[in-house]
Amino acid sequence: MLRYEISASLQPGGKASAMANHTEIVFDATSDREKTLPNPAEILLTSLAACMMKNVQRYSEILHIPYRYARVSIQGVRAEHPPMMSEILYRLEVDTDVDEVGRRLSDSGDANMICLAKVAISDQPLIKKTKEQKSRIVVLDGCAFNCAEKILENEGFTNLIHLNTTDFGIVKGKTPVSNERIDAIVSHIKQMSQ
């Protein structure tokens, strides 16, 4: 079990600060709104953002998925009576190269990408539209779990051609992904489609 401790102090007029891990965080505790310091609601949202960023880094290491950057934007709605956060909306964006093969095939007109996350949450309009196209679906997984293939099969897709990056010598999180390796996968998929 991990334990955390912070201490906070308040000066007359509303300037407040907290000490966390030997770092001072200054914030606004006035009854109005100070122009430059974050208020407690913004500190709360910042803490949520910090948790998300920490998890991106953690799971990047655990799952061996490198990323170029990650960013989150968070909006909070504060109710007055009683004072509380009544709504929190966030958008988390993580830029990786895992979709590079699909983007190249899509850009060249050789394939269309679909959003696997939307299939996973059973987005029926997307699933229906994709099934109506009656085209073969090339599924490219990145590890032995073959999650993409399982998600599509679970939604009733049967005309699948399954590939795994390991078929091309790419071990997730261990093999550097180069343009040459991506080109080899793209070329293989194009040849299969002819």
Per-residue pLDDT tens for 11-57? 999 889 999 999 999 999 998 888 899 999 999 999 999 999 999 99
Question: Of the given ranges (77-86, 119-128, 135-144), which has the lowest mean pLDDT?
Answer: 135-144
**pTM above the 0.85 mark?**
no
41-49: long-range contacts, CB 8 A cutoff, minimum separation 24:
41/76, 41/78, 41/85, 44/76, 44/85, 45/74, 45/75, 45/76, 45/88, 48/74, 48/88, 48/90, 49/74, 49/90
Check residue 18 and give its pLDDT.
Answer: 96
Percent of the chain with pLDDT over 90: 42
Check residue 106 and give its pLDDT.
Answer: 80
Asked if the model's pLDDT at residue 97 lies above 80, the reply is: no
Check residue 98 and give its pLDDT.
Answer: 65
Asked if the model's pLDDT at residue 87 lies above 80, the reply is: yes
Check residue 112 and give its pLDDT.
Answer: 79
8 — pLDDT class (breaks 50, 70, 90):
very high
179 — pLDDT class (breaks 50, 70, 90):
confident
